[in-house]
Amino acid sequence: MGLRDQSWDGRSSVPALTRSLSRVSGGCWWHIVISAMVLDSGLQTSDRQHPACLPSCSQQRKRAPDSSRLPSRSKPLSSTHPNRGTQSIKSAGRVMPGCSATSGCSAYMGQCSWMRRSESSCTINSGSSGSRGRMRSAGSLPSISRASAEHRTPRRKNCLLVALKHCNVQEERDKFFLSNFTCDPQFEYEEPLPCTVLDKYKEASDQFLLQATRILNSVLRKYGSYETFESITGGNLLSKSQVWSRCRKYMQKECCSGEVVVQLTEDLLSQAVMSVENSRPTLSINLLGARQHWLEGMLRHEIGTHYLRSVNDAHQPWHGSEGRKQYGLRPANPTEEGLASLHSVLFRKHPYLWRAALLYYTVSRAAKGSFSELFHDLRQFVQDPSVRWEYCVRAKRGQKDTAQPGCFSKDQVYLDGILHILRHRQTINFPLLTLLGKVSYEDIEDLQRFAQLENTRIPHFMQNLDKYHSQLQHIMETNQLSDAELQQVLPA
């Protein structure tokens, strides 16, 4: 049974809508609760329109703004933050305008094919063959249909994460645990596997295995175990109300209140995923990983990086697959995920790159061994069998018989991107990298003269570039990385 989509438009005093799903899996009833909420700036008016249904930005500029229809916004950047995105992008020949009610903060209105999903994996909304309530490819954003579900046009193509989703994961997990972690899972998939994608990601790399292993061992030397590291540096798990409150405050910082639906669930393999669900930008957060000191980093990853770069990309002439071909752009990754991963740990006291390093290591080992061998190998870093199971499932995505060597190598992009960005951190124009949208740092110089910077935004944590660069240096030192080493493994 698929999850039924419901959205909350801010007109009710009820803080959230809760959706529940009961399903049978391996003879047991599982009950999953997902809460969804549109986090606006607190304005609740009876005639407020949905953002996706408003006229385009050009139409907005032709008429005086109606204050009763617009969410409250921060002051324009030119007055509130005079240096925000200005000095650092002079080489582009333009100055980024302020974030006003009719320009920057409404950048997602108008053209709707602006957003692409982040490179996270999820198991949300499982078990349905229909399109309702399902996460889908973010290649386009049509206006939200007001018609009933029966008259909606079904999706033409499922997204990668749905195609790689196991439909018998709970049954295989039970068998694996009952066998004392020796019976390699035999996975089945809801839909035919995308062979071209599997071929693309079937080869793992060992290029940064030394750095990944050193990062993992440095955490263990300092904290003794990952579980201790998580408890000390992550803090306590947050309640739903605490998560929503912090999400609302963060979106106010980024001047995007009311633009993103937030879903809270316990049915994610990753900590969070930014996607498009039923034509709305949607941030799904795993409550089991929503920790006191880590949540803001996750929001910098998903909203401050993925979301803002997607919004900015919609304004650029290279937006879309044809535009990217026309301008000869490199793939957005590994820059996209590398930048987002750095932002996850940017202001931590001890910004260890643990997750990126463990994902890289896991994929490298999965390519050479079976599921059970990988599971036992990871015990040197993670004691909790449930956590190890999740890492192994990610690395073995796309395989049916996991007794065979093989991997899905996409998760190596995080550490790969991190090290590339740190290697060139002194020469990268980070505000411009964000303003240009979903582009590689290698394309900045070629694209800046074509850039359309009106109505684009940079995240609030890039306002002070001196502090930003000092934090990147702190990440280098904490993870025992040096410029000499990075220059050696990544020659110019």
- Cα-flanking dihedrals φ and ψ of residue 83, to 5°? -100, 5
pTM for the whole structure: 0.72
> In sequence order, which residues have a C-beta less than 8 Å from that of residue 15 and are 6 or more positions away?
37, 241, 244
Average pLDDT over residues 403-417: 97
- The pLDDT of residue 470 is 98
Q: Would you say 378 and 166 are in contact if contact means Cβ atoms under 8 Å apart?
A: no
Instruction: Give the contacts of 38 (CB within 8 A, at least 6 positions apart).
Output: 7, 8, 9, 10, 258, 260, 261, 262
Q: What is the pLDDT of residue 268?
A: 75
DSSP 99: -
Note the pLDDT tens digit of each residue in 234-287.
Answer: 999 999 999 999 999 999 999 999 899 999 988 777 788 888 888 889 999 988
pLDDT at position 343 is 98
> Does residue 467 have a pLDDT over 50?
yes
Assign 120 to helix, strand or coil: coil
**Most confidently modeled of 136-140, 239-243, 355-359?**
355-359
Output 358 or 27, whichever has higher pLDDT.
Answer: 358
Mean pLDDT over residues 31-48, rounded? Answer: 47
Confidence of residue 212 (pLDDT cuts 50, 70, 90): very high
What's the CA gap between 27 and 157, in Å, rounded?
31
| 336 in catalytic set | no
Residue 307 pLDDT more than 90? yes
How do residues 148-201 score in pLDDT, each as one tens digit? 444 444 444 445 655 677 889 999 999 999 999 999 999 998 888 778 888 889
Please state, in angstroms and rounded to a whole number, the distance separating the CA atoms of residues 395 and 392.
5
Long-range contacts of 285-291 (CB under 8 A, 24+ apart): 285/243, 285/247, 287/237, 287/238, 287/240, 287/243, 288/237, 290/237, 290/238, 290/243, 290/264, 291/230, 291/234, 291/235, 291/236, 291/237, 291/238
- 16 confidence band (pLDDT: 50, 70, 90): very low
Neighbouring residues of 445: CB distance < 8 A, sequence distance ≥ 6: none
What pLDDT is attached to residue 100? 38
Residue 190 pLDDT: 82
Greater confidence (376 vs 82) lies with: 376
Whether pLDDT at 1 is above 60 = no
- For residue 423, pLDDT over 80 is answered with yes
Predicted confidence at residue 288, as pLDDT, reads: 84
H/E element, 31: strand 28-38
**Residues 30 and 170 sit within 8 Å (Cβ to Cβ):** yes
Q: Within 10 Å of residue 112's Cβ, how many Cβ atoms?
A: 17
Task: Check if the beta carbon of residue 274 is closer than 8 Å to that of residue 131.
Answer: no
The mean per-residue pLDDT over the stretch 46-59 comes to 37
Q: Among residues 119, 302, 337, 390, which one is catalytic? A: 302
Q: What is the pLDDT of residue 38?
A: 63
Average pLDDT value over all residues in the chain: 76
